[in-house]
Amino acid sequence: LGLGIDLGVKEFAVISNGTVKKNINKTAKLKKLEKQLKREQRCLSRKYEDLKKRSKKKGEATRQNIQKQVVKVQKLHHRIDHIRADYINKTIGEIVKTKPSYITIEDLNVSGMMKNRHLSKAVASQKFYEFRNKLEAKCREFGIELRIVDRWYPSSRLCHECRRIKSDLKLSDREYICECGYHADRDYNASLNLRD
């Protein structure tokens, strides 16, 4: 039996076996770290502004403080990065452990999504590209076939029951309701279509 994985911004991944991997960026821990990062970055930028106004003599001490602040910001970046990478690794590990005969994912147009300024930060923090690369490597290691579906395949718009395409489906529609009476979560419906 194969698996279909629908990657998204609301939930990180919805898998056709019914498993939903939450968006880790919405957890309290990461939100707190992001807030902290924002604060430290603001502090760093203030120190730079200060340096411009000072005389050379006083500037030396400020420069050392700036260096310390830079290190603080870098450490936070690393920490957030590691948490996300770890989550991706664990998710892939869990998926591969179920030993599916094949896994299907969409070929996402990440650079296109990044152009939408409302979505770009959310898309960047999901690390879809990293997920795909690591999944490819794991599949090779375990001998699982990885199928990548063309990005124009209407996985979200297609009804899993009657195969009818619902062309007026908006991003805000979280439920998929078809004329044939089929009703499911939009992302779950997409993952079933990807699996098949």
What's residue 9's pLDDT?
85
What's residue 118's pLDDT?
85
What's residue 55's pLDDT?
67
Q: Is 143 left (phi over 0), alpha (psi -120 to 50) or beta?
A: left
* pLDDT string in tens for the chain (196-residue length): 889 888 888 889 999 888 899 999 899 999 999 999 999 999 999 988 888 887 666 667 778 888 999 999 999 999 999 999 999 999 999 989 888 899 988 888 888 888 988 888 888 888 888 999 999 999 999 999 888 888 888 777 777 778 777 777 777 677 777 777 777 888 888 888 888 8
pLDDT in tens, 112-149: 888 988 888 888 888 888 999 999 999 999 999 888 88
According to DSSP, residue 151 is labeled: T
Q: Give the number of other Cβ atoms within 10 Å of residue 190's Cβ.
A: 27
AA identity, residue 175 = E
What's residue 175's pLDDT?
79
